[in-house]
Amino acid sequence: MATTRLSISGLSKSYSTPVLNDVNLSINCGEIHAIVGENGAGKTTLVNILAGITHKDAGEIILDGERYAPSGPKDGFNAGVSYAAQELSIIDTLSVAENIWLRELPHKMCVIETARLEQKTRGLLDLVGLDYLSSNTPTERLSLSERQLIELAKALAADARVVILDEPTAALAGPQAARLHDIIATRAGKGASIIYISHRLGDVLSVAHTVSVLRDGQVVSSAPANTLTVDDVIHQMSGQSYPKREISPGAAHEKKPVLEVDKVTTKDLPHPISCTFYPGEIVGVAGLAGAGKSEFLSALFGLTRLRTGRISRYSDAGSINIDDPAHAVRSGIGYLGEERLSMGLFNGHSVLANMMIPGIGSCSSLSFLNRVAERISSQDLIEQLAIRCDGPQQLVEQLSGGNQQKTLIARWLHCGSRILLLDEPTRGVDVGTKSAIYELLFNMRDEGKTIIVASSDVEELMTLGDRTIVFSARKLVREFQRDGWAENDMLTAAFQEFTDQSTVRRNTGELPQQNTGRP
Amino acid sequence: MDRLRFLKQHLEENFIVASLILLILLFGTASDNFFSVITLTTILNQLPALTVITVGMTLVLIVGGIDLSVGSVMGFSATVVGVATVAWGLPLPFACIVGLMAGLMCGLTNGILVSYLALPSFIVTLGMLEMARGLAYITTNSQTVYIGGAIQKISLPLPIIGVSAALLVAVATVIVAHLALTRTVMGRFIIAIGTNEQAARMSGIDARPYRLCILAASGALAGLGGIFNAAYLGSADPNAGIGFELSAIAAAVIGGTSLMGGRGSILGAFAGVLIITILQNGLAQIGVSEPAKRLITGAVIIVAVLIDRWRGTHSAS
């Protein structure tokens, strides 16, 4: 029988409301222990306490037989607990190697030993599949998925007893995620305990030994993964089951385009793109990480300068060219960026202020704000989208990720956008909120709005989309209609431009590894 | 719930008011002469210039910038007013408008460089700090220009109301800026830009015109400060306003404005101005030496920020 590495008993933590309530958990040496739960269930708070970032209110943690109460992240790290957080801790201005070894840079008389640093980093980069990167590459040049792998390398750099990974695969495409799973299985085989948090339940069940489910701050079950099915876990997470939605395709296109992309190229999208979007449809944008999905949406929102071609927005008021976000918003286009925190939220301000920003004109007269109208609209939106918060005045950073995402969607609902561009709208969002967001998007489509969704989750696109366009290596390669698609075809299309390795590195820095599939 | 929050918010604002009252009582008991007409007049005379400049500074800080040039621009504008009345013989109202324009031009230059050429406001306004001071010296040939009685009327108490026109204008500026920040669309956008410029851009807000407006306004308000300063002294001193930018930043920060942008209050900043002015006069009253005065003023600024930080962390959790 394996020995217990970490034993948590009676752990509690409250902010304005209880987040963790009498949590009991036991994790063995060499065990991969998955923690799953809806957003706001308390997963991140739990691991933040383990890593020393947050302090517990009550309860006890025993690490290898000794009481463990880290005073801060450094203390936790020194005790052998390493943590790869969901919000990445990469410092843009430092190199890959400096980021990985920031906590213990090799030095002699305060001078960094570059050669030793390089040598210590090499093996780690090879391990996580970033062997093509030089250790002195500045991290600001890396893609989101590469950053995530660097974060992983950083967590693995220390020979930690407990490795905590919070949503480590959020930005990774299938093969990269599979590689990550191999790596942690190896680490666990050497005796480390891995705490693995993820919303990808399929992954969780295949990689973890034990799955613990958190609901409303309590552990509702803890069971060996091989005795569970995805439906079981969903049921335990929510306390109810989510039936798969009956998919009704969007109404037949009015053949009157709302947005037309004509032979567009940008700095990041070197191959001309042409496509047309119609009212009342959801269009999926598929592709591997780094294939150009986000770049395409940015271009549609006028965030990137076009090299050639043009993007025309047709409405009753006539047609205009989109070349600036302010124009895009005025012509009824809304955008939800891939990174909520930096691209969407105004932290330190209320839910109300966050919701009202782009459509604020409708709550003002002669540019003076009508506070009553603001309050009423935000209250309505909170109810309509079932946003879990204390009220419109609550600070937005106090909401869970899924509710923050809903707040951002509310922003565009309020300002009456006719076209919505969503980049990974359900990333890091729990199953319940996810289906609520789907429902919302279907309703918006049925009202005749156009929704363009980029996602690395093919299943999501097959659920949502009336059609899907596929990007591969920064090139629009194919378009699928709802009645003529299969997951396999889409994956094949997504990989088609990646077959020549040299193309891959030159264009994207992404390295597809089709053959490192899960065992 | 909301009522509670409302109350709490007011308590937080009242915290500054409470310290202000405490300060007044402290000096009142420590010095026999603190509650005298002369002291009051001195304080009221010093207030207008610092107030209008702090209003501009607070707005600039909220939008995520800084304006180091306000002191020099104030000096420059004062000399322009002086030369316009004395050398060009312009009637006083026109001279004042020319002085205001001088400040506005400096602010516009700052604004265009910062917003449309994307230069950091710290550097641009540091450059303007030097340039405007140079212009002030050039304008009067490094001499103090005696303007005379007419301009002093601006800072003399008006009949019936008993306070000066300068103070009235300064208080009006505070009220207008406060309403603009809290009640208008532009105010909301300025806060949004200062909090997270990228998110503001994603919400369809072009930050550039707002940055430009705020920096231009700060320049114009510094110009107004220059007029008040000339009115108070009855002359245009090219050295006027040296170090004023630091007092304005201090007042804004005491009033709860964040140097990181996105957070701040005009009313708080006004309270900050009162605290700084009363502190300096009160200390002089009770016979504290100049070096000790500076020591204490500095310490008060740091303590104020400490308390503000402490309140911030406690109200957040």
pLDDT confidence band for A31 (50 / 70 / 90): very high
The rounded distance, in Å, linking the Cα atoms of B299 and B284 is 16
**Residue A133 counted as domain residue:** no
pLDDT at B316 over 70: no
Q: How much of chain A, in percent, has pLDDT values that exceed 70?
A: 90
Range of the structural domain that residue A185 is part of: 4-90+142-238
Interatomic CA distance for residues A84 and A60, integer angstroms = 23
Taking any CB pair shorter than 8 Å as contact, residues of chain B touching chain A are 1-2, 5, 183-189, 191-192, 195-196, 198-206, 262-263, 316-317
pLDDT at A517: 35
Do residue A326 and residue A441 come from a single domain?
yes
Report d(CA A155, CA A50) in Å as an integer: 14
Contacts of A391 in chain B (CB under 8 A): 1-2
Average pLDDT over residues B33-50: 85
The whole-angstrom distance between B288's CA and the closest CA on chain A is 41
Question: A367: which chain B residues are within 8 Å (Cβ-Cβ)?
Answer: 184-186
User: pLDDT tens for residues A294-340?
Assistant: 999 999 999 988 999 999 999 887 888 988 899 899 899 999 988 87
A326 and A359 within one domain: no
pLDDT of res. A351: 92
Give how far A366 is from chain B: nearest CA, Å.
Answer: 9
Q: What backbone torsions phi and psi does residue A151 show, to the nearest 5 degrees?
A: -60, -40
Do both A378 and A441 map to the same domain? no
Torsion angle of C-alpha atoms B17, B19, B23, B26, degrees rounded to 10: 120
Q: Which of A211, A238, A265 is the last residue of a domain?
A: A238
The verdict on a CB contact (< 8 Å) between A368 and B184 is yes
Residue A416 touches partner B, C-beta closer than 8 Å? no
The pLDDT of residue A112: 81
What local confidence, expressed as pLDDT, does residue B227 receive? 96
pLDDT number for residue A507: 40
Same domain? A147 vs A27: yes
pLDDT band at A483 (very low <50, low <70, confident <90, very high): confident
* pLDDT of B71 above 80: yes
Is the domain of A69 the same as that of A170? yes
**Banded pLDDT at A253 (limits 50, 70, 90):** low
What is the tens place of the pLDDT at every residue in A116-147? Answer: 888 889 988 988 888 888 888 888 888 878 88
Indicate yes or no: CB of A343 within 8 angstroms of CB of B202: yes
% of chain B surpassing 90 pLDDT: 62
Residue predicted with more confidence, A92 or B13: A92
Same domain, A429 and A501: yes
pLDDT at residue A509, as a whole number: 40
pLDDT value of residue A505: 39
Choose the final residue of a domain: A400, A416, A432.
Answer: A416
Tell me: do A63 and A163 sit in the same domain: yes
Q: Do both A181 and A299 map to the same domain?
A: no
> What's the rounded Cα separation, in Å, for the pair A438 and A442?
6
CB-CB: which of B196, B202, B204 is closest to A330?
Answer: B204
Summarize the confidence of residues A166-186 as an average pLDDT.
Answer: 84
In a domain, A197, yes or no: yes
Residue where a domain terminates, one of A391, A416, A441:
A416
What pLDDT score does A30 carry?
A: 92
Residue A88 has pLDDT above 80, yes or no: no
Give the start-end residues of each E strand in A462-506: 467-472, 475-481
Select the residue of A330, A349, A367 nearest B184 (Cβ to Cβ): A367
pLDDT of residue A250: 57
Assign A512 a pLDDT band (cuts: 50, 70, 90).
very low
Assess contact for A227 and A251: CB atoms under 8 A: no
Most confident of A168-182, A236-250, A407-421, A446-460: A407-421
Give me chain B's average pLDDT, please.
89
Model confidence pLDDT, tens digit, residues A184-239: 999 999 999 999 998 778 888 889 999 999 888 889 989 998 898 887 887 787 66
Asked whether residue A502 falls in the same domain as residue A423, the answer is: yes
What's the mean pLDDT in A279-288?
A: 88
The per-residue pLDDT for range B234-284, each reduced to its tens digit, is 999 999 999 999 999 999 999 889 888 888 999 999 999 999 999 988 898
pLDDT of residue B317: 38
User: Is A348 in Cβ contact with B195 (below 8 Å)?
Assistant: yes
Chain A residues within 8 A of B196 when measuring between CB atoms: 342, 345-347
Flag if B184 and A345 touch (Cβ within 8 Å): no
Is the confidence at residue A499, as pLDDT, over 70? no
What's the burial of A351, exposed, middle or buried (CB within 10 Å: 0-12/13-18/19+)? buried
Task: Tell whether the model's pLDDT for residue A16 goes beyond 70.
Answer: no
Task: Give pLDDT, residue A142.
Answer: 85
Is residue A449 domain-shared with residue A472, that is, in the same domain? Answer: yes
Between A490 and B150, the more confident residue is B150
pLDDT for the residue numbered A516: 36
Distance (Å, rounded) from C-alpha A115 to C-alpha A121?
Answer: 10
Domain count for chain A: 3
Out of A195-204, A510-519, B25-34, which region has the weakest mean confidence (pLDDT)?
A510-519
Instruction: Establish whether this prediction's ipTM goes over 0.90.
Output: no
pLDDT tens sequence across A352-410: 999 988 888 777 877 888 888 889 999 999 998 888 888 899 999 888 888 898 999 99
Q: Taking CB atoms and an 8 Å limit, are B184 and A364 in contact across chains? A: yes
Reduced to 3 states, what is the DSSP secondary structure of residue A235? helix
Report the candidate in A346, A506, A72 with the shortest Cα–Cα distance to residue B198: A346
Query: Which domains, from first to last, does chain B contain?
Result: 34-307 (1.10.3470)
The verdict on A163 and A277 lying in the same domain is no
